[in-house]
Amino acid sequence: MAVIPVELAGRSYEVRVGSELLADLAAQCGPLLRKKRVPIVTDNNVERHWRETVDGSLAAAGFEPRWMILESGEGAKSWTVLERLMDWLLAEEVERGDHVLALGGGVIGDLTGFAAAILKRGCGFIQLPTTLLAQVDSSVGGKTAINTSAGKNLVGAFHQPSLVLADLDALTTLPAREMGAGYAEVIKYGILGDRAFFDWCEANGGAVLAGDRAAQEYAVTESVKAKARIVAEDERETTGARALLNLGHTFGHALEAQTGFSDRLLHGEAVALGMVLAARYSARRGYISEADAQRVAMAIGSAGLPSEVATLGLNCNGQALAAHMLHDKKMDAGTLPFVLLHGIGEAFLDKQVVLADVAEFLDRELERR
């Protein structure tokens, strides 16, 4: 098992990466579980695969698991479901010193984390991420949120978990497409800040996706280390360091919006394609070579992720895609900072990007074969 500390003044916590962490849940949580009744939030898919394991571990240690099982999907990050969850937590008499367990992907983690942030002005929570995306990204760093009709993740809070248990066993039941989407966030750490890790991903991405346990442990551990470093440096995304984690997200967000935030393009797939576009746009601006941009596209394409916008069959032009970017929550005083590349492993924030130029670039990408 690897243990990665997230160092934050007064709120430091561990991310543990390894096998059988859910089977050993009671011991892993230790004194964080201070009452017999343990509230657990999950979704119906995760419950089907992992409830027995969690129940077994908690019951054997004398705990009484209490389950809130939500319908899977992004729809759970809503006011309606949040209200239901808050009412349930209150009925369960969860107190500030208690911990709520979030067992699931980024949807369950974001929703439960936000509920924990506002329950009685803040109670504890433990992240038990069961998707690759949640293990390498959303469970670490304390961003919690729900969606509203105005957009995704617009209502939320920074609220750090007390512990994160990334059990690699959970990945054995994850659908292949969800693994791929999570892998996009793994390779992102290489592209944005660690060329050696990008090289490793090029060589070992196939093994990670095929279920090789050692490769998965290395990929998750290195990703969490990178995220922990960035979060410790810029917890609230004020200095620009954490903003680099948005590599691929501005282009990706436009593609997600154009495809209606649907299963047509999963978030991780949109980020993958967004990173290809960020690399190609960096080449267009003369920041990186065409060869490096092509290398990024190849690494993403060979992981089975989308690497050409044209293949999405979008019925729109570059201007329409750029228009979605205007509603990006990263808009700052009328400008939209773009994460671009000075090289593989060298992301930076460019605040001088002109959206009309991006639209023209996207017109060409939409026709590229």
Residues of the shown chain interacting with ligand GLY in the complex, contacts defined by CB under 6 A = 137, 141, 143, 242, 245
CB 58 within 8 A of CB 123: no
Name the 3-class secondary structure at 332: strand
Q: Rounding to the nearest 10 degrees, give the CA dihedral for residues 209, 213, 217, 219.
A: -20
Binding mask 255-284 for ligand NAD (x = CB under 6 A): ------------x-----------------
Reported as half-sphere exposure (CB side, CA atoms, 13 A), residue 168 has a value of: 19
Phi-psi sector, 121: left (phi>0), alpha (psi -120 to 50), beta = left
Nearer of residues 134 and 299 to ligand NAD, judged by Cβ: 134
Establish whether 52 is a catalytic residue. Answer: no
Nearer of residues 181 and 288 to ligand NAD, judged by Cβ: 181
CB 271 within 8 A of CB 184: yes
Locate all alpha helices (DSSP H) within the chain, ordered by sequence: 25-29, 44-60, 79-91, 106-118, 132-133, 176-193, 195-210, 213-233, 249-258, 267-284, 290-302, 318-325, 355-367
Q: Please report whether residue 319 would count as binding ligand NAD according to CB under 6 A.
A: no
Name the 3-class secondary structure at 217: helix
**Smallest distance from the beta carbon of 245 to ligand GLY, in angstroms?**
4
Q: Please report whether residue 170 would count as binding ligand NAD according to CB under 6 A.
A: yes
217 binds, among ligand GLY, ligand NAD, none (CB under 5 to 8 A by kind): none
Establish whether 227 is a catalytic residue. Answer: yes
Of 56, 84, 92, 153, the one binding ligand NAD (CB under 6 A) is 153
Establish whether 96 is a catalytic residue. Answer: no
In terms of DSSP bridges, do strands 64-70 and 37-43 run parallel, antiparallel, or are they unpaired? parallel
CB 17 within 8 A of CB 132: no
Phi-psi sector, 147: left (phi>0), alpha (psi -120 to 50), beta = beta
131 binds, among ligand GLY, ligand NAD, none (CB under 5 to 8 A by kind): ligand NAD
CB atoms within 10 A of CB 346: 17
Establish whether 16 is a catalytic residue. Answer: no
Find the part of the chain contacting ligand NAD (CB under 6 A) among 137-145, 196-204, 296-304, 309-317. Answer: 137-145
d(CA 143, CA 157): 6
Q: What is the DSSP string of 125-136?
A: EEEEE-SHHIII
Establish whether 237 is a catalytic residue. Answer: yes
**Smallest distance from the beta carbon of 191 to ligand GLY, in angstroms?**
14
CB 168 within 8 A of CB 214: no
Q: What is the DSSP string of 91-122?
A: HTT--TT-EEEEEESHHHHHHHHHHHHHGGG-
Q: Please report whether residue 37 would count as binding ligand NAD according to CB under 6 A.
A: no
Nearer of residues 106 and 193 to ligand NAD, judged by Cβ: 106
**Smallest distance from the beta carbon of 271 to ligand NAD, in angstroms?**
9
Establish whether 253 is a catalytic residue. Answer: yes
115 binds, among ligand NAD, ligand GLY, none (CB under 5 to 8 A by kind): none
130 binds, among ligand NAD, ligand GLY, none (CB under 5 to 8 A by kind): ligand NAD
Residue among 225, 242, 269, 365 flagged as catalytic: 242
Residue nearest to ligand NAD (CB): 106
Number of residues that bind ligand NAD (CB under 6 A): 30
Catalytic residues: 121, 143, 185, 227, 237, 242, 246, 249, 253, 267
State the residues that interact with ligand NAD by CB under 6 A: 43, 45-46, 49, 72-74, 77, 104-108, 110, 130-131, 133-134, 137-138, 141, 143, 152-153, 170, 173-174, 178, 181, 267
